[in-house]
Copies of this chain bind each other. A is one copy, B any other.
């Protein structure tokens, strides 16, 4: 796949037009989410890593140019200009793993206008789904703070690339493993997996399947007990666990994948404890999301770990965020849009966060900001090269730090909308730009 062509055609049209007209002064675009998904109190920034990789490597390959000339009728001059194009600009961004709110820039790109425009589609594409999934997964952690959570989503996410993104995003917010082997390999995560119902069915009987699995993988035995009847499945798992104990091993867990998980887990825990198998954990899965986890937590279900799949992997209640990439300044001139319900705020920005997450302030990047507040946007790329080396583990530590200070009202799964203040200078610039546009365009 050509990465440079992972773009909407209009980016190429606009870039070509700018290049022809020598409109190559610096432009700043701001990537932000206009409104949070219903019921979500915050977002977790994710996806920057892929964006920076993309920006560092951006170039049109000869076969890209050939296609653009032959099929899309870009001129030879356009193609020549595209062939020389690299991303030479600067990016300021909220580091991955940090909590952000609506309207707060996740990143700002400043570069010659054609470059800054061209990269819009890819940056939105990566940040949008990765931040949606990281945020949804973070809600799962809030819902089940004591349990171990494992990413089980690969089978129903939107492609294998999405599978990698989801495994990484969930790991960033503290999931302890993923079923996705390729993601585990690439990101150095713990690969986790048990057995399917098909395994049980392929053997002449359930207990023979359990015995075979315990024999084949003595150090990672998780027995799926609900193929036929959960309670009887637990009894058979106990029988096998006792056989295994006599041979000096121990099964890790049983897994419940259907039915009333709170009731079944309580029953299974009692059955296991009764015969002294107190160390055997209970693992649950099956259509779980943060709401299901919260109910199970509230019910005191004795579940040690959850396999969380589809609903988190596709961010089911908000599979896309209301993300945009908006021009806020060109050639020193602040710009904005006035159209119905989609007004944008002009100018390069900064977000300041008061200690203890006690309220954020959005203002102009040129301002000093309030005292005792931390700026969220930091430089991550300059002159087309990364200025920070950062990895998944740093991002994970940042998220843990955010989680530690997250105010109580944001820990709820249905929080009140958070108000983000704007500085007077930003409000004033917005008013001035709007007034200037009205005078000029709507005269």
* Interface of A toward B, CB cutoff 8 Å: 1-3, 5-14, 16-18, 20-21, 23, 27, 29, 64, 67-68, 71-73, 113, 117, 120-122, 124-126, 128-129, 152, 154-165, 179-182, 184-186, 191-199, 201-202, 205-206, 212-213, 216-217, 219-220, 226-230, 232, 257-259, 310-311, 313-316, 319-321, 323, 325-327, 330, 335-342, 437, 440-442
Contacts and interface: CB of A to CB of B under 8 A. Distances in A.
B160 A339 contact: no
30 contacts: A5-B182, A7-B154, A10-B195, A11-B196, A13-B220, A14-B198, A17-B213, A17-B216, A20-B216, A21-B212, A27-B202, A71-B191, A117-B198, A120-B196, A125-B155, A125-B156, A158-B161, A159-B159, A159-B165, A160-B161, A161-B162, A162-B162, A197-B337, A201-B336, A228-B337, A230-B339, A257-B339, A259-B340, A314-B320, A316-B320
A141 to B, nearest CB: 21
A-B pairs, top 3 by smallest CB distance, nearest first, are A9-B193, A198-B327, A10-B193
Say how many copies of this protein the assembly contains.
Answer: 2
Contacts of A191: 9, 71-72
Contacts of A220: 13
A216 B29 CA distance: 23
Given A159-B125, A201-B327, A319-B314, A16 B180 contact: no
A86 B66 CA distance: 37
Contacts of A126: 159
A197 B336 CA distance: 9
Contact of A442 (B16, B195, B229): B229
A348 B1 CA distance: 37
Contact of A185 (B67, B186, B323): B67
A50 B263 CA distance: 41
A239 to B, nearest CB: 13
A31 to B, nearest CB: 10
